Amino acid sequence: MKKQLSVAALSLLALTGAQAADWSDTSMGYRYGTQFDEPFNGKAISKNIFNLNHVSGYKYGSNFFNADFLFSDSTDPAGKGSTNGAQEAYVVYRHTLDLGKVQGKDIKFGPVRGVGITAGFDVNAKTDAGYNSKKRMLVAGPTFMMDVPGFLNVSVLGLWESNAPFNTFSGVSTPRYSYDPHMMVGLAWGMPVPGVPLSFEGFANFIAAKGKNEFGAPTAAETNIDMQLMYDMSGALGASKNTFKVGLEYQYWKNKFGNDATNNKGAMAKTPMIRAEYHF
């Protein structure tokens, strides 16, 4: 099944790469917070996060790409005995094929203005003292595009995830381990606030438990909500609309990475952040 999904995902990437974009938005961003948490750490962590984001649409659908580069302070050490903070890269890609555009007719019902099929992947690599994640995940499922100002997409996705961590304390390298296939309901939105240059943006992922982890312990269902209120300050700088944005962001993440937060303080994150973006 995973091999078939990999072939399908690569075929989809090849197909979309040949399509000319009808519209696109690319941005570079920065965010900072002091209340990040990591499982089995239990201490407040400060992180500087830089990101590159690209969204585009073509005749039959849309593409989403985001790469986050995260730099922790020494509370989340880079390795055993290190005084430097951990570093992480996390990449997400999604392609949504709009079924109405493929068929040449609208698919609308109730609050839904369109239906698509979404496929993509997550990849990460982190250098830290305890886990050193090397996550690989394929996703696929239907997306419902809701009829709202701006956009609100609701996706029901199957997830096929694996990891191959390395513990610098014990020196143990874990062979790549595949979790049980599991489901996620994901929301992504971007909505203008009427009458003011503000927008409410973000995502919410509700992820089912994924069986036992690579060490034989049960996993827990996750809730990861990340939302931002962004102010468009472009006019004050003499730039085009939505070129420069600043705002406040808040992340709520329960049972982070499937770790049960009941007896694991670091698996529950409640993180306010400041955020800035430049769009081009």
Residue 19's pLDDT band (boundaries 50, 70, 90)? low
CA distance 69 to 49: 6
With 0-12 / 13-18 / 19 or more C-beta atoms within 10 angstroms meaning exposed / middle / buried, residue 267 is: buried
Residue 8's pLDDT band (boundaries 50, 70, 90)? very low
pLDDT per position as a tens digit, 52-64: 999 999 999 999 9
Average pLDDT estimate for 189-214 = 97
What is the set of domains in the chain, with CATH numbers? 2-279 (2.40.230.20)
pTM score of the predicted model: 0.91
Average pLDDT estimate for 237-266 = 96
Whole-number average pLDDT of the chain: 93
Average pLDDT estimate for 34-48 = 96
Angle at 115 between CA 65 and CA 241, to 5 degrees: 50
Instruction: Say what the alpha-carbon torsion angle 153, 99, 113, 226 is, to the nearest 10 degrees.
Output: 0
Three-class DSSP category at 253? strand
pLDDT per position as a tens digit, 79-126: 888 899 999 999 999 999 999 999 999 999 999 999 999 999 999 999
Q: Which residues pair with 147 in a beta bridge?
A: none
| Phi, psi for residue 212 in degrees, rounded to 5 | -85, 150
The pLDDT score that the predictor gives to residue 222 is: 98
% of the chain residues with pLDDT over 70: 93
